[in-house]
């Protein structure tokens, strides 16, 4: 044992030693002494591999801070979903102040889209008509997006849900035969997250779900759909249905990939940058053209 790795405590020494042993790396725990604290001793030739294994362990467990497994569904919920809806709520609050131009600048208006303002299909996903509209999407959307993030990876699910919301607006633009048609709201995105969850249950979850879990998922999903589609007058059903279908299609594509690949930090970072770029670019175009 020619190299040592300092640790903070006995518990960390125990945890890290199990990580190294699981990777086939022999180690010894040296207790706290007069000239050093707790440490792990490994062979010199294993030092580089040990550090790499411990870094990977730290990275994976750091992500677990944000997620938890819900026993009543068997799904993992990721609390990072709240960050997106905090952004949406902030945008609404700004729109009620001196920045009232945000809503007309980003609203999805079919005539404007036809004249080349395609970015409205994106910006409208982040706008809301009134507080009840906003609150319903925040509460239900946080739940659906949180579960989708736990299944597919946080930023992969966010990118797919956001794109599903955009495609829901595309569906409304195509099938509503009115140049004056207007649309806004994250409901299509919320339904996109539901579509992601639904196809995952179909393709991967049906073999592991108990009858109780499957029944609970169906009941809860039905309640949320009733709230989302049946409580507001003037609900844009096409945008909602389009968001769900788009989420289901995107989820089916994602289910073709191994789950470990979907949760890789590099892939999620790329998806995070892609989603951020879509939001920034479309809002920049919206504000520039107002």
> What pLDDT sits at residue 122?
96
Output the tens digit of pLDDT for each of the chain's 290 residues. Answer: 678 888 888 888 888 899 899 888 889 888 887 677 888 999 988 889 999 999 888 777 666 677 776 665 567 889 999 999 999 999 999 999 989 999 999 999 999 999 999 999 999 999 998 898 899 899 989 999 999 999 899 999 999 999 999 999 998 888 886 777 888 888 899 989 988 988 887 766 555 555 555 555 555 665 566 555 544 555 677 788 888 889 989 999 998 888 888 888 899 999 999 999 999 999 999 999 87
Tokens of 158: 């966010």
The reported pTM is 0.76
Residue 160 to residue 38: CA distance in whole angstroms: 45
Go through the domains of the chain in sequence order and give each one's CATH number.
3-64 (3.30.70.1530), 68-288 (1.20.1540.10)
Candidates 18, 173, 6, 162; CA nearest to 85 is: 162
> What pLDDT sits at residue 232?
54
Residue 248 to residue 188: CA distance in whole angstroms: 12
Q: If DSSP states are collapsed to H, E and C, what string results for the chain?
A: CCEEEECCCHHHHHHHHHHHHHCCCCEEEECCCCCCCCEEEECHHHHHHHHHHHHHHHHHHHHHCCEEEECCCCEEEECCHHHHHHHHHHHHHHHCCCCCCHHHHHCEEHHHHHCCCCCHHHHHHHCCCCHHHHHHHHHHHHHHHHHHHHHHCHHHHHHHHHHHHHHHHHHHHHHCCCCCCEECCCHHHHHHHHHHHHHHHHHHHCCCCCHHHHHHHHHHHHHHHHHHHHCCCCCCHHHHHHHHHHHHHHHHHHCCCCHHHHCCHHHHHHHHHHHHHHHHHHHHHHHHCC
Residue 119 to residue 149: CA distance in whole angstroms: 25
Residue 245 to residue 110: CA distance in whole angstroms: 21
> What pLDDT sits at residue 230?
46
């Amino acid at each position: 044992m020619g190299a040592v790795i300092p640790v903070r405590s006995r518990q960390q020494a125990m945890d890290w030693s199990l990580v190294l042993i699981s990777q086939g790396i022999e180690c010894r725990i040296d207790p706290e002494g007069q000239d050093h604290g707790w440490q792990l001793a490994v062979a010199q030739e294993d030092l580089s591999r040990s550090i790499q294994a411990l870094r990977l362990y730290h990275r994976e467990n750091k992500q677990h801070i944000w997620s938890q497994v819900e026993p009543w569904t068997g799904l993992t919920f990721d609390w990072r979903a709240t960050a997106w809806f905090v952004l949406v709520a902030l945008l609404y609050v700004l729109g009620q102040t001196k920045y009232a131009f945000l809503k007309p600048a980003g609203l999805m208006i079919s005539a404007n889209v036809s004249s080349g303002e395609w970015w409205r299909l994106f910006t409208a996903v982040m706008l809301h008509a009134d507080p009840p509209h906003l609150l319903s999407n925040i509460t239900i959307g946080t739940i659906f997006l949180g579960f989708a993030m736990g299944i597919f990876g946080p930023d992969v699910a966010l990118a797919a849900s956001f794109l599903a919301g955009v495609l829901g607006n595309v569906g409304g633009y195509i099938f509503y035969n009115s140049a004056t048609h207007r649309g806004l709201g994250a409901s299509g995105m919320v339904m996109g997250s539901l579509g992601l969850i639904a196809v995952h249950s179909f393709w991967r979850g049906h073999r592991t779900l108990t009858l109780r879990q499957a029944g609970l998922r169906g009941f809860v999903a039905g309640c949320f759909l009733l709230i989302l589609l049946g409580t507001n007058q003037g609900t844009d059903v096409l945008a909602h249905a389009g968001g769900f279908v788009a989420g289901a299609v995107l989820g089916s594509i994602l289910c073709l990939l191994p789950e470990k690949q979907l949760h890789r930090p590099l892939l999620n970072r790329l998806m995070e940058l892609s989603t951020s770029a879509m939001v920034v670019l479309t809002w920049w175009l919206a504000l520039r053209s107002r």
